[in-house]
Structure 1
Amino acid sequence: MRIIKKLLIVDDDNYLRKLLSSYLLAEGFFIHSVDSVHSALVLIKQDRPDLIITDIMMKRLDGYDFIKLLKLDVLLLDIPVIFLTAKGMTHDRIKGYNLGCHAYLTKPFNPKELLAIVKNIFNHIDLLQINSLNNINKQYIHAQIFKFLTYREKTILHLVIKGYMNKEIAVNLNISLRNVEKYVSRLLNKTKTRNRTELVKLVLDF
């Protein structure tokens, strides 16, 4: 089941806000919209959005002030922000990106471009989360495998990783070649690998 993403639109242009809300709602998003930064901050405390689309030029607190306040709150600083504004000068864009916005789109704009930006941001976040989970899983598997290795097995594994052949390991550790072969065989069994190459790859991938 697809989780519906929540978007917050902040703009003091009521007409634009309603049009944009209707468009994004039709694209499958849940929409909140407000006309000021103050109202946005109150709403965010009650219902945290997945992404914010905000104008810059607004009364009292502007869009720049808004993103600064978000970045000061550890619970809100990771919310993606898109600036949607008539301020199109290069220095305005640079300021927006330096403050941490994910995208900067100038008015007038094409709603399809905004939609593409929103989807791209969510796709990027999803990939980061998947990679993070994969890393956690790998670390867990790694820990589960290697906590069952004996000190001698870990020593031999270290030498295998360094590229030592069985005869070289035997000489280095002053043990018989037959014993080295037994230890290497145990390592392959415990790590569910088929050969030395797979064993080394398994370890180096973590």
Structure 2
Amino acid sequence: MKRKLLLVDDDIYLRDSISSYLKSEGFFVESCQDANTALLSIKKNKPDLIIADIMMPKLDGYTFISKLKEDEKLCGIPVIFLTAKGMTNDRIKAYDLGCNAYITKPFDPKELLSIICSLFTHISLLQKYTAKKNKKKNNSQLSVISFTNRETTILQLVVKGLRNKDIAACLNISIKNVEKYVSRLLNKTSTKNRTELARFILSQKIAINEGE
């Protein structure tokens, strides 16, 4: 899937040239001539990254990024400032407000492309790390489910594929009692039926810890 970029600049010539270049590099690019229009567009169609000028009519780039960072649904969108403002104080202010990169005009389009690709690579690595960490955390939580001795025995028989009446005969207890234990096991593992329970135990490789 193509990454979606939003270009915000009041210079139509610059918008068209940058858009054409980035489209040729495989990106989907939308453009807006001012920050107010951009904010409306973003709320309807969220981009993966924003490239914005600072000196724009009605709403400047500093106010624009401040509004983005105030919105919890939009604050994570990376922002690259592309501007003629090249003073150190301008850069510091931009970074303090949360921009991810700052390029001064005139610029080399290849540098802009390199920064965009670098940001997306960083985002992808972070997402993979977070997903892996969450999966490990969830598996760790799932692997410490405590069962009573009787539950453990019945669970082992369920996993082997025995029916309730077979388990009852094997343990010399009533089918009704087996049903109660199976129901309790379903609740403990948040599964819906015996088949799902067996698959869940096997797929998660849960350690069956015996309790009282």
TM-score, with length taken from structure 2: 0.68
Per-residue CA deviation, residues 158-197 of structure 1 (Å, 9 max, x unaligned), is: xxxxxxxxxxxxxxxxxxxxxxxxxxxxxxx977xxxxxx
Residue aligning to 1:129: 127
Identity percentage of aligned residues: 54
Rounded Cα–Cα distance in structure 2 between residues aligned with 1:127 and 1:16: 31
Rounded Cα–Cα distance in structure 1 between residues aligned with 2:17 and 2:27: 14
- Determine helix, strand or coil for the equivalent of 1:52: strand
Rounded Cα–Cα distance in structure 1 between residues aligned with 2:19 and 2:138: 43
What is the Cα deviation at residue 145 of structure 1?
A: 2.1
Residue aligning to 2:49: 51
Please provide the CA RMSD for this pair: 1.6
- Determine helix, strand or coil for the equivalent of 1:146: coil
Q: Is the counterpart of residue 98 in structure 1 residue 117 in structure 2?
A: no
What is the Cα deviation at residue 148 of structure 1?
A: 4.5
Residue aligning to 1:62: 60
Matches for 1:1-206 after TM superposition, within 5 Å: 3-148=1-146
Rounded Cα–Cα distance in structure 1 between residues aligned with 2:84 and 2:36: 21
Q: How many residues align?
A: 151
**One-letter code of the match for 1:29?**
F
Rounded Cα–Cα distance in structure 2 between residues aligned with 1:190 and 1:59: 61
What is the Cα deviation at residue 19 of structure 1?
A: 0.1
**One-letter code of the match for 1:82?**
I
Distance 1:149 1:118, change over 3 A: farther
Residue aligning to 1:163: none
What is the Cα deviation at residue 121 of structure 1?
A: 0.5
TM-score, with length taken from structure 1: 0.70
Per-residue CA deviation, residues 76-96 of structure 1 (Å, 9 max, x unaligned), is: 111100000000000000000
Per-residue CA deviation, residues 121-157 of structure 1 (Å, 9 max, x unaligned), is: 111111110011101111122122222589xxxxxxx
**One-letter code of the match for 1:81?**
V
**One-letter code of the match for 1:21?**
S
RCO higher in 1 or 2 (8 Å CA, sep ≥ 6)? Answer: 2
Per-residue CA deviation, residues 12-58 of structure 1 (Å, 9 max, x unaligned), is: 11001100000000111101001100110111111110100000001
**One-letter code of the match for 1:107?**
K
Unaligned runs of 5+ in 2: 149-204, 208-212
Asked if the contact 2:142/2:206 (under 8 Å) is kept, the reply is no
Runs of 4+ in 1 over 6 A off after TM superposition: none
Per-residue CA deviation, residues 103-138 of structure 1 (Å, 9 max, x unaligned), is: 000000010000000001111111110011101111
